[in-house]
Each structure stands twice: as C-alpha cells, then as structure tokens.
Chain A
Amino acid sequence: MDKILRINMGDKNGPKASEGPLGDYAGLGGRGMTSAIISKEVPPLCHPLGKDNKLVIAPGLLSGSHAAQSGRASVGCKSPLTGGIKEANVGGQGAQVLARLGYAAIVLEGKPGDDTLYKVVIKKDGVEITPENSFKMLGNYDLVDKLKEEYGDKVACISIGPAGEMKMAAASIAFTNMEQRPTRHAGRGGVGAVMGAKGVKVIILDDTGMPTRSPKDPEKFKAANKAFVQGLKKHPITGEGLPAFGTNILTNVINEAGALPTHNFKTGRFDGAGNISGETQSEIMKARGGMVAHGCHKGCVIRCSGIYNDKDGNYITKRPEYETVWAHGGNCGIDDMDAIAELDRMDDDYGLDTIEMGATIGVAMEAGLAKFGDAQAAINLLKDVGKGTPLGRILGSGAAVTGKVFGVERVPVVKGQALPAYDPRSVQGMGVTYATSTMGADHTAGYAVTANILNVGGSVDPLKPEGQVELSRNLQIATAAIDATGMCLFIAFAILDQPETFNALVDMIGAFTGQDLTADDVTELGKNILSFERDFNSRAGFSAKDDRLPDFFKAEALPPHNVIFEVKDEDLDQVYNW
C-alpha cells in the first residue's frame, strides 16, 4: 500500500490514470488519508459536483492484512449534502481488495466533458477505463449481476445506482459484500452524487495474484491478532449480542429509554417497536431460512449482519441495521418488518443513504404527503426517488431540502445532514457530537471508543455540566483515530471493557507497521484529522452558528421524559478547544 492511483476524468483525451508515491500522505489510512487529501487539494469553495472536487477512496492502515475487523474503507469528498468535508465509512470487500492491490487511495479528479458513463477495472497489471453507457440507470443489484457474468464472483465492486447518476444529495456508494451483493454503503453526505458527477458508474477491483499484506513482525502480529480475536469472541456484545440480534438489538432498549425518535422526532417512544426489534427480526430471519450471524467482509468475527428472506425463503436484503429500521420504521410510524426490509433493498438498489431517506420520508409525512404508518406510501415515495420524478428529485436531495420545499419546521438536520436514531434531548452528550461534528449530524463521529483508556483530553468529571462537552470532544478525537486504521467501530466494547484486548490491538498495529504506538500518538492522529476537517469547513464558510441543533430540540419537550436539549451554545463552542 505504497502508492496512490489518480484518475483524471476530465483529461482532454479522455479519462487518464496515473500512479504516484504517497509523498506527504505516507503513513495515513482511511479517514486520515481522505481528509488530508480533501483538505489539502480541494478548494473549499468549489461546487461539490464540479471538476475541482475530488472523490477519495482509502482503505484503512491494516486493511488487506489478516487483522480481524480491518475491512473498513473511507470515502471522502466535499459533500453535496452539507457543503463541508465528508468521510463516509463502509464495510464490504472493497477495502481488503484495494489494499492488496497496493493502493493507499484511489482519487477521482476532474469531470468528463459529456454525460458518458465509465467503468474502471483495476487489476494487478494495470487500470482500464472504458465507456459503458449500457449501465445507465441500472440499479446496483442488476449492475453487479451483469458484472459477475464478465468478471466472476471474486472481484469487489464499488458502484452507484440511479440516485448517484442523478447526482442526488442523498446518494450513496455501494461496496459489495462477501457474496458480491451491493449491500454495504458509504451512505452519508451524498458521496454517490460526487462519483456520479465524475461519470464513474463502477470500479471493479480484482486482486488475483496479489498476496495478503505482510506485517513487519509476523510472529508478534499473529499472536496479537489471536488475542484480539479471542477478546472479541468472549465479550458479550461482540461475541453474543451483535451476532444474535445485529445492531437492531438497540431498538427495544432505545425505545425504553424514550430516545427512539418517532413520527419525525415528535416523541421518544414507538408503540410498534416490539414488532421491529432485533429480537423479532432475528426470529423472522431464522424462520425463513435466512442467516442470523454473517460478516460483511472476510476477516469479520463479530458478524452483525445477516440475510433477510421473504415469506417464501427468497433473498430480499441483508439484515437491516438499527439505523435503517429506525429511519424507515419508528421515525415514519411503520412497524412492518417486511416493508422495512423492502425499503432497505430499494435504498441499496437505487444507491441511497437509508438514514437520510428515512428522515426525509418522515419530513414528507409531517408535510402531509403521506400518513405516518403508511408503509405502502413510503415505498411509493422511494420509488419516485428511484425514477427521478420531480417529487423524487426533491426527496432525493435529503431532509433539509424536502423540509424547505414543503414548509416543514421540524426538520432534524445539522449542517444539512439528517440526525440518526438517537434523540439528542434524551441523550444530550450525543447531541453535542451531532451539533459539533465536522460531518454534520453523525452517530459514529464520536463513538464510544477508548477515549477513557487513552485518557484523551485528560480525565473527565462526569458530574460537571461541561463533562458532556469534554466527553464528546474526547470521543470525536478517538473515533477519528480508529477510523484511520480501517477497524470496524464495533470493536469498541471489547477494547473498552477488556484491557488485554485493547493491548492486543495496540500490539497488532505496532507489529504490522513496525512502529510502537503510544496513547499520545493515537490522540495526536485523531486531533490532526479533526484539525484538517475543521480547517476545511472553516474555509468553506462554516462557523459556530453551524454547530447547533435545530431550534425545536430546545423548544419542544420530548415525551415520555419531557426533556429538551439543554447544552448551552457557549459550551458547544468549546468542543474544539484543545
């Protein structure tokens, strides 16, 4: 992983690929790589769909090795949804294969002079870019089926659906999973629209003949990886809860906490939560011959995904995740698991962010375009998006635009991006992260990683009001560092609770890179990434006024606890003071 592949889609002689050394970007991976390139090379005031924006796809530092859980990729650009910097994190096979091909990043640059659609094939022997207009407006599923005929079932595909081609601000980029299904998505921030603007429909990665990446100290690496896997398997969350129920294990619990945004953030409890809980979902999947525990990439030992079949046992989609079940479920008043699975499949096929689309349909329901709880109406609205009807174009632009068009006041967005599945009035500390993240409202920006073990930012007195700001800051720093490694964030709990598992992770990174990491190194990496991102956003015109939740969170008390968001603006402004 010692080179960067750049593809200039706007070259006067047609798309042109070139390879170069890492240069200033040596030692960076994942979010560290994408945010460094975007911050340094993209003019912050450029149009996100213009020639000056760049789309960067980067595997993590450990991707392509035998390290467990190291298959995450980062996709970065200036976001068409937020107007700021974006890193969308994704699983699937892409990161592993790209890393084995030796690339620390693919950078799509420039813009074609016409609307020709291209296919990019990357192999051991080189890069081939060819026009492929027959792929126009194909859904991700049909596209991958076609590619399988030509390239077999071992390649990894990174593609956009019709939403990306139509440059919708809610468009995602699909990464195929182990069964070569386009189910893993770099969902947030409209990264699919940027790929569409570059005229690239699909990138096919073929690592035939390429070895697994080797660690600097193989014996130490092997031992550390073994201890790391043992730690993941013995922890109740990574070894039992997630494999049994997936991330949707959260529905019942968040609902009980009164923090499940329901009916477009009107209340914190959904009466139908039990019908769409992880417990119910798993029983449906088992009964229909689906798969309850399944990894999204090779080397995953947590296996939080699965296969969701219809009543006749035919595949519909992967296990819909908690965020999806909330967005299309409780947020829209829908308690029909099959309808939610169908909406998830449609999102994956059209290439749309499930969080953004669920939040958008919730806003549309608030506007009176459909009734809360009407699953068929939600499906019809999503079909409009896939077809690109005038209404669909509005909805595909996300919740903020939809709210403006239809005059809705309760629009749950920060920096133009829809809030995920936890109401910040109930979990105020998460509201701090939603408000201040460089990414717009994002539940993974300040993940519960090892901030405490690393002592990032010093120790926090949780009894002080400002403790929530400090916790959010520390979590954002630590999360940015983990995002650079390519590790799945779900490792968080095993390393949070089990010091020996945390030590195994540090040893594994050290043995792989040949450099002994200290907690200070990790903290510095996280701060650097956030500084790149913050600086980009500042130059793009963002200021403190953008680090705020919508007014209604401060004005409307959320049942059942009747709480409002109480963190003061001046406290929010302290998050980046380190």
Chain B
Amino acid sequence: MKTEFQNNLTTKINLTVKPDRMSLFSSLLGQGFTLKIRTGISIRDLLCRQIDVSDDYLDQRIQTIFLDGKVVDNVDTAVVRQGSSLALSAAMPGLAGAVLRRGGTYAAMRSQISHKNNTVDDSAENGTVTLKLFNLVALELGPLFLKQGIWISGKNMGNFFRRVPDFFWDGCLTAEIDGNSQDVRKISLMEWRQEQVFLKLKTKKELHQQKLDIS
C-alpha cells in the first residue's frame, strides 16, 4: 500500500488482538477513516494501483460505490479528488440494493443521485481521502487497512471503544499509546478529543511470530 501515515503530532495507538476480534472493527470502518494518498485519479487507479485491491475484487465484489455520496457507475471515469469521501459496499438486497448497484438495470431509478462522470486530468497530487468500508467489504478489506494503520476521528474511536462488547477486551491482548504500554481496559475509559488518531492493529498470531523472530 503506497499510503503515507507519518504524522508525529497525532496520537498513535497500537493494539494486539485475537484474530476473531478483527471483525468488530467493521462498524468503525463504516464511519470512515482518512487515507493520505495520491488524488485526482480514477477510483480504479486509487484502489488498484495505489492500494493493493485487485481489479477482480473491484469488478466482482465491490458492487455499490459512493463518491461524495453520489452513486458511481463507472470506476474508470469517476475521479477521486482531494477531500473526497469514497464508500465501498458489496451487492445489496432489496429494490434499493438493485437500484444503487453500479451500472445496474435499475440505475435510472436514482438518476438524481448518480455521480456524473468526469475525466482524469493532470491535477493528480498528494492529498487526503475519507474511505468508508461497509459489510462484506469491511470484513474482507478491513484487516488490510487496520494492519497498516488508519487515521480516524478521536470522537468515533472513543464511541467505538465505549460501545464495543465486553468480550472484545478479553481478546485485546496488548495496548500501546505513543509507544507506552497501557492497561487495555483503560482505553474504553479514555477521552479522545483529538481530531485524528492513528490506530494500528496486530493479531495474536503475528505477535507470536514476532517473538519467535526475536528469539
């Protein structure tokens, strides 16, 4: 993944969790996180050339896409600009699901909220994009981003830790804030006023591997 996460002024949280706790972060990923990435490029270029999402996954699995809240039909012509919000979902049920599906038979039924295609120009530049992952896409792509680390709003993260079920904490094995170890249970009690925090996850298996490597 060719993204840039470095920012010394922001709080960094590293958690080590059991693998089955990873899915709990789906709801957090659905609220959006920030990517520092090249913008002014098509959705396909952003997902498949800047991030390691395969073309097949984009074409087959990601069936519903919103760019700045508008429904996208063509991932090759819709351009992600600086400050854009991009939401990714698998295919959805219901008439609404069929209507919102990209390039679907029923796309005409929501033409008022369809993204109007634009073209890639020469204005590609480093910038920030808010990415939202929903449902199966969150389960499948979420670990990729969480292991690299994501920038999220402190408020959203605080709400997430306050609402997360108790059993999450049994599977949260270690916690570090800005490099200092913390009691994992105390994280749910903390106030997160920062506009952005950097959250990075490791799973228990990786922790074991790391220890073995050291030894």
Contact = CB atoms under 8 A, between A and B. Distances in A.
Interface of A: 236-238, 240-242, 244-245, 247, 249-250, 252-254, 256-259, 274-275, 277-280, 283-284, 287-288, 304, 322, 422, 425-430, 432-433, 443, 446-448, 452, 460, 462-463, 467-468, 471-472, 475, 490, 492-493, 496, 560-561, 563, 566
B91 A426 contact: no
B71 to A, nearest CB: 6
A475 to B, nearest CB: 7
Interface in B163-180: 163, 165-168
Contacts of B105: 452, 462, 496
A462 to B, nearest CB: 3
B66 A257 contact: yes
Interface of B: 23-24, 26-27, 30-31, 61, 63-64, 66, 69-71, 87, 89-100, 105-113, 132, 134-136, 138-139, 159, 163, 165-168
A471 B106 contact: yes
B95 A236 contact: no
A236 B113 contact: no
A237 B92 contact: yes
Given A259-B113, A452-B105, A253 B134 contact: yes
Q: Which of A240, A252, A475 has the most CB of B within 10 A?
A: A252
* Secondary structure call for the B interface: helix
A241 B135 contact: yes
A283 B26 contact: yes
A242 B113 CA distance: 25
A475 B95 contact: yes
B97 A283 contact: no
11 contacts: A236-B90, A240-B136, A242-B93, A252-B134, A253-B89, A257-B96, A259-B110, A279-B134, A288-B165, A443-B96, A447-B94
Contacts of B108: 429, 460, 462-463, 467-468, 471
B110 A287 contact: no
A467 B108 CA distance: 7
B165 A236 contact: no
Which 8 pairs across A and B sit closest by C-beta, in order of nearness?
Answer: A429-B109, A462-B108, A287-B165, A448-B98, A448-B95, A280-B27, A279-B26, A467-B108
B96 A252 contact: no
B30 A274 contact: yes
B29 to A, nearest CB: 8
A304 to B, nearest CB: 8
A448 B97 contact: yes
Contact of A252 (B30, B61, B93, B168): B30
Contacts of B23: 283
Given A236-B63, A247-B93, A468-B109, 4 more contacts: A253-B100, A258-B69, A427-B96, A433-B95
Given A428-B110, A468-B108, A253 B64 contact: yes
Nearest to B28: A274
Contacts of A244: 135-136, 139
B128 to A, nearest CB: 19
Nearest to B108: A462
A253 B98 CA distance: 12
B133 to A, nearest CB: 10
A447 B97 contact: no
Contacts of A475: 95
Contacts of A430: 95-96, 99, 109
